[in-house]
């Protein structure tokens, strides 16, 4: 009988270990949770995304159940969705150290979704990104608020990626609000209903900056108060539809470098009250306007060669 009790106890222990190590398609975090071997269920949530991630199956999701500050930084290395539940302000607070609040370094075929997250850093941060992307296949950023980083969203890739950004605010960055760069392949990105405000406190930087090997389409979005351009392209394609660039240094710029050439195409957009240029083209870059834009009350409304083209 004594041996039977020992066997039962050992089985119970082993089952406990197995359950603690088991992964789930859906794990949970809460400000009242505790990071432990057994956390992750909705009734036993973890305290941080970092603790919940290893307990989440590839392609699963981690859900914040209540408003509050969770991690300082998160490394995402596989397909996953990180999200606050509807109405929840799931925040990451970076104290100005050199770590990105979220670093995405997954595989080239992984899909990462970041939704309903509030990323906050100390003003004047010049060393870390709100979201820094090193490698990913598909990235979706939805309804996020990114405030006070070196760059709000920074792509530094060595390959291709498909990107969708919706209903997101990027503000008070020391450099660019968002910067697209890859050394190989192409970043294909769409941005919808988003704001890029008051970026560039460290110098003349842009709300949206298409630096190299990116094709970016922006719709129904606003760039205002940036110390450089609201929207800038130096390498790749930048397409604006129904956007606003106001109260920046420049509105929309197709810039020139010796190594890259950018093309800007603008339709049905308002470019006004920028202190320097409204539309600006330089060097071998190309600037196309569909002729239906409002460009007025800028320091100088147009500079360089602005091509008026049809929509076909």
pLDDT digits (tens, 9 = 90+) for 145-186: 999 999 999 999 999 999 999 999 999 999 999 999 999 999
Please state the pTM of the whole predicted model. Answer: 0.91
CATH number at residue 147: 2.160.20.10
pLDDT in tens, 51-107: 999 999 999 999 999 999 999 999 999 999 999 999 999 999 887 667 899 999 999
User: 131 and 261, same structural domain?
Assistant: yes
Together in a domain, 41 and 64: no
In this structure, are 98 and 123 located in the same domain? yes
Of the ranges 8-22, 94-108, 229-243, the best mean pLDDT one: 229-243
Q: Are residues 131 and 36 in the same domain?
A: no
The tally of domains found in the chain comes to 2
**How far apart are the C-alpha atoms of 114 and 72, rounded to whole Å?**
15
Residue 176: which of 219, 214, 137, 223 has the closest Cα?
223
Q: Are residues 52 and 96 in the same domain?
A: no
Q: Which of 30, 57, 84 is the last residue of a domain?
A: 57
Those residues whose C-beta lies under 8 Å from the C-beta of residue 12, and which sit 6 or more positions away, are none
Cβ atoms of 293 and 264 within 8 Å: the answer is: no
Which stretches of 164-267 are DSSP H helices?
none
Q: Are residues 214 and 274 in the same domain?
A: yes
Region 129-141: mean pLDDT is: 97
| 284: containing domain | 58-308
């Amino acid at each position: 009988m004594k041996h039977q009790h020992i066997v039962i106890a050992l089985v119970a222990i082993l089952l406990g270990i197995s359950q603690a190590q088991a992964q789930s398609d859906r794990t949970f975090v809460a400000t009242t949770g505790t990071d432990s071997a057994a956390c992750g269920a909705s009734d036993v949530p973890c305290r941080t995304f970092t603790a919940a991630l290893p307990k989440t199956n590839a392609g699963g999701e981690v859900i914040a159940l209540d408003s509050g500050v969770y991690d300082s930084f998160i490394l995402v290395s596989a397909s996953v969705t990180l999200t606050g539940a509807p109405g929840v302000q799931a925040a990451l607070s970076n104290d100005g150290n050199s770590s990105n609040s979220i670093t995405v370094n997954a595989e080239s075929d992984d899909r990462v979704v970041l939704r309903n997250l509030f990323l906050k850093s100390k003003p004047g941060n010049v060393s870390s990104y709100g979201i820094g992307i090193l490698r990913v296949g598909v990235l979706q950023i939805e309804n996020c608020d990114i405030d006070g980083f070196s760059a709000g969203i920074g792509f530094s890739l060595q390959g291709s990626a498909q990107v969708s950004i919706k209903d997101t605010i990027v503000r008070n960055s020391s450099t660019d609000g968002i910067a697209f760069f890859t050394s190989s392949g192409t970043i294909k990105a769409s941005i919808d209903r988003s704001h890029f405000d008051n970026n560039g406190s460290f110098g003349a930087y842009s709300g949206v900056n298409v630096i190299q090997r990116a094709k970016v389409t922006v719709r129904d979005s606003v760039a205002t108060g940036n110390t450089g351009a609201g929207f800038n392209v130096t390498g790749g394609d930048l397409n604006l539809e129904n956007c606003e660039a106001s109260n920046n240094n420049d509105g929309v710029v197709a810039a020139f470098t010796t190594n890259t050439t950018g093309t800007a195409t603008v339709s049905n957009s308002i470019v006004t009250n920028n202190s320097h240029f409204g539309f600006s083209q330089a060097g071998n870059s190309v600037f196309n306007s569909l002729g239906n834009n409002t460009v007025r009350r800028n320091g100088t409304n147009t500079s360089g060669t602005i091509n008026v083209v049809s929509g076909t």
